[in-house]
Structure formats: C-alpha cells, structure tokens
Structure 1
C-alpha cells in the first residue's frame, strides 16, 4: 500500500503468466503423432499383405482344383466333352474336347465344370461368365497365353498387388518367368490393374 498525499493507493503487483507449450510437451505430442502414424501405416501394410496372401491362396486353390479335375476325369475342366456325365450334373454344358480353350470355354465352362465337380466353392460368375476373384475382379483360363504353355489361369488385381504376388512366387518381372503380365510387359507402378497369368 502506498500513501500519496494522504491518499491510500493500493499497488497491485500483477505478473502475467506466459501461456504456451514447453519443448517437453511438444516433444510428447510429436512422439504420440508419430506412434499413431506408424500404427496406421503398419495396419495398412498388414491389410495389403493379407489381401495378397488371400489372392495367392485363391490362385493355389484354383490350380489344385484344376489338377484334381484332370486327374479324376482325364480331361481339362471347361473342355471336358463328358462333363455332365463325369460330374453327374444334368444340363451342364460340355466342352468340345479339343484339348485347348476357346474364349467361351475359358471364360465360363472351366468354372462351371470345377463347381459341378465340387472342386471350387464360391463361384461367383461375372456377367460374361468369368470367375470373380478376391479383389472383386475377373479371372479366366486360356491355352498357351501370355507366352506361357499349357492351361493358363489369368486374374486381374491392382498393379501393386500383381508386383507383390509375382515377387513372392516368381521373379517380380511381368515380362518373364512362370508368372507374367498378360501383355508380357513390366508391371506399371501407377494406380490401376494388371492381368497376371500363371500355369494352372
């Protein structure tokens, strides 16, 4: 209290407290953000890896079904001229028995014959009769296709998945090896899809 000319004046000593974050607080926030981002990115990588694995399992399952049909009935599924008799499914369309696939046989009949023989579960036909794969995209069979010999299964997947699958089962090059891009070119690294093909 100060006395000025007989008047009492109260002097208040007000100290303004500074507001803001300390370096420690900022560091803690940055660490938390880093952990969250790392978790999200790792989670996305795990999801991608699971999808790639599921697609590879589907391809392996189709290949096993294809080979089992051949062993059991002595004919290519989809090309089997006695498919209705062999599978016991009345009304099943037979193939022409020519030993190779036409577009119609490779797009539709392979899947119908495998399903009729109870070798392929969950056949979901596309509008053109092709099989729908794990990515909701189409798959088909051809003979001597994409530079590969024999019965070839082809399926559409995102480019990054095509590269990953090819790396896991082959050489990662869409132009060569046991797994190839349908046009026998390198996989694009941009967004989009690729047809990848492998021997059945």
Structure 2
C-alpha cells in the first residue's frame, strides 16, 4: 500500500518539515514526517506508520496536535504501577483500638448497672433492719406499738384521729401497709415514730417513706399468711426481691419469714407467688416479719 503524505506541497500550507516549536521554545510535535518521492518514511527509531490521506485543507500539524492530545490523556488516565496508590479505609491497628474502646465502654456500663443494683439491695435491706429496730425501740420506751399507742395524743399534745378500723391499744396495727387514709393505724405508725425521733422527717408527717426502688415501705398486721406485724416494701424488681429474701430467709417467695408476690397487694390471707420471675416486667411486694 503506498504511503500518502499528510500534506501536499504547494497547497498553500507551509512545506517546511523540520520540527516545529512554539514561541516559548517547547517542542510542538513529537512526530514529524519527511516527504520522499510520494512516500513517507519514519526515522529509524520509530515504526513505519501508514498515514491515511487527509483532506487537502487539513494542515499536518493539526494531526500531530490531535495525536499528542490523545497521548497526554492516556498518560493521565492509565495507572502507573510505579506510583503507590493510597487505599481508603481503616488499618488493623485502628480497628483494634476501636474494638478495645467499645469493650471498655460496655464493661463499664454493665459494671455500673450491677453496682446500682447492689446499692439498691443494700438500701432496701437497711430499711427492713431500721424499721425492726425502730419498732423495738418504741416498744421498749413507751410500752406500746407505734400507730397503736393510746398515750401518744397526751404525750405529744396532738389530736388522735379515730381509726377507720381496729381499736387503739389492742396490740394490732390496723390498715394496709400502703394505705392513703390518714386515720389508719398503719399511717399513724409513721407519725408516732417521727414524733419519737426514731425516723427522719417532719414530726407532722405521717406519709410512708420511699424505698430505693421508687416504691414505699410500710407495716400492717399479717401478709401472705405470715402472722403478726409485718414490714412490706413494694415495687422491687425480681433480682432485688430475691436478693432480700436470700439475705434474710431462704430465697423462696412462698415460704419462710420473707414472702412476696408480684404487684402491690399484700393481703393477710393472700397467696405468695411460687417463684421470683426475672423477666423485666414483674415488680414485687416483699413482706418480712420483724
């Protein structure tokens, strides 16, 4: 196939085939062609190229510019194996550090929750012990039960309300442990203890004190078939309730001197639950004989 020059001499274009440079001295073309008797042969360092005939009006340097532009674009887009490419992502050391931090946070949270639970168990246990001591001290000092003391009105100059049930001085504290009736003996129980200085609070306050589980603590006569005066504390999660039962008794909710049932009711003849169920939904009332 005959080789055809990319330009024709005498067509009005510059026929000088020497390497052309721009005004700034840079090489304008890396390739140039030499006309020789109608054939174009490349220098020895290049492979021979078959040049397709171009229109008469196409200057030869336009073809060279297109070729150079394509070479430059390919050199920019093609990967270079000798240049290290930065990989995005985390290193193994960074991932290990993050995992260690997460483990420490989870361990701290779990340990903190356990410490809070243990603190609540101690507080509830102290409530039972403190109330037992307060009842015994009151009996030793006044020879009567708090709330059922017939001499309390004269001793402290107060007006004793007429109890809604029971009789003052009969040795029985009438009323439920969490009653809202001010005249019940189980409510006057707290007024007498505060008047005697055995329980903290204002001397005119007859309300039940709160426990560590956002419930209340109180007394009544009999609960879950436990005879006599009992101390009850409600709104206790199963873990705390069973821990209290284990600390003071046998750890079983239906036997011994500590018994419990889910809910807030603690009737004298009510049946306790067979077991403590720690499912996160049940809250117990625990009653204990002093």
Tell me the TM-score normalized by structure 2. Answer: 0.59
RMSD: 2.7
Selected match of 1:189 from 275, 278, 288: 278
Q: Which has the higher strand share?
A: 1
Contact 2:123 2:211 in 1 (8 A): no
Q: Which has the higher helix share?
A: 1
**Which ranges in structure 1 are unaligned for 5 or more consecutive residues?**
none
Length, aligned pairs only: 194
Selected match of 1:139 from 217, 222, 239: 217
Higher relative contact order (CA 8 A, sep 6+): 1
- Residue 252 of structure 2: aligned partner: 173
Tell me the TM-score normalized by structure 1. Answer: 0.83
The reply to whether residue 82 of structure 1 matches residue 132 of structure 2 is no
Deviates more, 1:64-73 or 1:164-173: 164-173
* Secondary structure of the corresponding residue to residue 144 of structure 1: strand
The reply to whether residue 51 of structure 1 matches residue 120 of structure 2 is yes
- Residue 31 of structure 2: aligned partner: 5
| Equivalent runs, 1:1-200 vs 2, <5 Å | 5=31, 13=80, 14-86=83-155, 88-93=156-161, 96-103=168-175, 104-106=184-186, 108-122=187-201, 129-160=207-238, 161-181=240-260, 182=266, 183-185=271-273, 186-190=275-279, 191-200=281-290
Output one character per residue of 1:87-108: Cα deviation in whole Å (capped at 9) or x when no partner: x2422448611111221212x0
1:67–1:93 distance in 2 versus 1, CA, 3 Å: farther
CA distance in 2, matches of 1:93, 1:134: 30
Output one character per residue of 1:47-75: Cα deviation in whole Å (capped at 9) or x when no partner: 12112211211221111111100111111
Contact 1:58 1:134 in 2 (8 A): no
